[in-house]
Amino acid sequence: MRIVFAGTPPFAAAALSALIAAAPARGWTIPLVLSQPDRPSGRGMKLMGSAVKELAQSHGIPVETPPSLRKGDEAAAAKQRLRAAAPDVLVVAAYGLILPQDVLDIPAALRPGWSPPLTAINIHASLLPRWRGAAPIARAIEAGDTTTGITIMQMDAGLDTGPMLLSAAVPIAPDDTSGSLTATLAALGARLIVEALAGVQSLVATPQPDGATYASKIDKAEAWVDWTQASEVLARRVRAFDPFPVASTVLHGTPIKLWRAVPETGDAALPPGTVVEADGSGVTVACGRGALRVIELQRPGGKRLPAREFLAGFPIRPGARCGSPPASR
């Protein structure tokens, strides 16, 4: 089996690593990897390759990084390289680029006779049809879901609409962040894609049922906390936006990132956004319902710190008001 892999972040690198490890014993080869172009990263904003690119290159696997696969000279060149790689299947995980039909049609296909042909398989971080789209992990936490999982699905030209081939569920822990849940799902996805390809002859394609929900891409503007919301809603958003874009507020004119927080029930009896208490246990802020106790914070240029250490360098007193930046910012 000749496998071309397409992916970008560490979530995808976990799957590629599992395929590389399994390949020798199973007679698989990985002649080509697709990933997104290098991006500026770190304090020096140097161009850095993706986690998938770095892993592939460390194993001597050629990598193509076109900015698009739809049109342009770079897209045409990448498609030519893909054809030359003569894959039987394209495995995709958090690639971040739309795959047009002419790309999905390139692999020779597994399981001859399937209609449509099994040419491309995706590792999706949700239990489809819930949370199709770009940010299924963060949206599941934000919505208060208690369970999520991985779906191995056959790709088509739609947005995560193809038939399901294999799936497994995991609970979402009360303290899970997008970062911790991504790590859990990456390991699960890596295991399932090897299982799916190893047992491809026994896979059954099951159409997705009705009731799809869509996980829209996370926008940086969503990070600003709206204190009129209920404390339990805001606590979920803090976890959902960790490690990106990180829930934030403005206090004493300074943007403050909120890394860890727990909801407190009851009526704070103060306007939303008012600091109720500020001590070593956290900075407690009144919400539209209840209050949010923030127990790890960060100011610009500083480290994320537990409340006690943060308050030693940035005093906050009860009655202070938290807000959002002006719309123009």
Instruction: Write out the residue range of the structural domain in which residue 283 sits.
Output: 220-323
- Asked if residue 208 and residue 230 are part of one domain, the reply reads no
Domain end call among 215, 243, 263:
215
Q: What is the CA radius of gyration of the chain?
A: 23
What is the DSSP secondary structure assignment for residue 87, as one 8-state letter? -
Where residue 328 falls among pLDDT bands split at 50, 70, 90? very low
- Asked if residue 168 and residue 242 are part of one domain, the reply reads no
- Asked if residue 160 and residue 44 are part of one domain, the reply reads yes
How confident is the model at residue 329, as a pLDDT? 40
Which residue, 48, 60, 59, is CA-closest to 17? 59
- Asked if residue 309 and residue 258 are part of one domain, the reply reads yes
For a pLDDT cut of 90, what percent of the chain falls above it? 91
Where residue 326 falls among pLDDT bands split at 50, 70, 90? low
* Per-residue pLDDT at 214 exceeds 90: yes
Residue 128 located in a structural domain? yes
- Asked if residue 143 and residue 31 are part of one domain, the reply reads yes
The one-letter code for the residue type at 286 is A
Where residue 327 falls among pLDDT bands split at 50, 70, 90? low
- Residue by residue, DSSP assigns 184-234 as HHHHHHHHHHHHHHHTGGG---BPPPS---EEPPPPGGGGB--TTSBHHHH
- Asked if residue 319 and residue 184 are part of one domain, the reply reads no
* Residue scoring higher pLDDT (63 or 158): 63
Residue 211 located in a structural domain? yes
Backbone angles phi, psi at 250, to 5 degrees: -115, 130
As a whole number, mean pLDDT of residues 59-84 equals: 96
What is the DSSP secondary structure assignment for residue 116, as one 8-state letter? S
The one-letter code for the residue type at 145 is D
* Per-residue pLDDT at 40 exceeds 90: no
- Asked if residue 313 and residue 193 are part of one domain, the reply reads no
- Asked if residue 229 and residue 210 are part of one domain, the reply reads no
Instruction: Give all strands (DSSP E) within 50-107, no chain letters.
Output: 63-64, 89-93
Residue 328 located in a structural domain? no
What is the DSSP secondary structure assignment for residue 318, as one 8-state letter? T
As a whole number, mean pLDDT of residues 296-321 equals: 97
CATH number of 319's domain = 3.10.25.10
Which residue, 48, 20, 49, is CA-closest to 34? 49
How confident is the model at residue 42, as a pLDDT? 72
CA–CA gap between residue 272 and residue 46 (Å, rounded) = 41
- Asked if residue 159 and residue 25 are part of one domain, the reply reads yes
The residues, any chain, with a CB within 8 Å of residue 182's CB and separated by 6 or more, are 10, 11, 125, 137
CA–CA gap between residue 127 and residue 146 (Å, rounded) = 12
**Structure token digits, residue 121:** 């398989």
* Per-residue pLDDT at 267 exceeds 80: no
Residue 329 located in a structural domain? no
177-191, 233-247, 255-269: lowest mean pLDDT where? 255-269
The structural domain count of the chain equals 2
What is the DSSP secondary structure assignment for residue 159, as one 8-state letter? S
Where residue 325 falls among pLDDT bands split at 50, 70, 90? confident
CATH number of 7's domain = 3.40.50.170
- Asked if residue 257 and residue 111 are part of one domain, the reply reads no
Angle at 233 between CA 258 and CA 253, to 5 degrees: 35
- Asked if residue 224 and residue 208 are part of one domain, the reply reads no
Residue 260 contacts residue 240 (beta carbons within 8 Å): no
The residues, any chain, with a CB within 8 Å of residue 328's CB and separated by 6 or more, are none
- Asked if residue 27 and residue 104 are part of one domain, the reply reads yes
The whole-model pTM stands at: 0.95
CA–CA gap between residue 100 and residue 102 (Å, rounded) = 6
Domain end call among 157, 184, 215:
215
Domain end call among 215, 232, 260:
215
Per the prediction, the chain carries an average pLDDT of 95
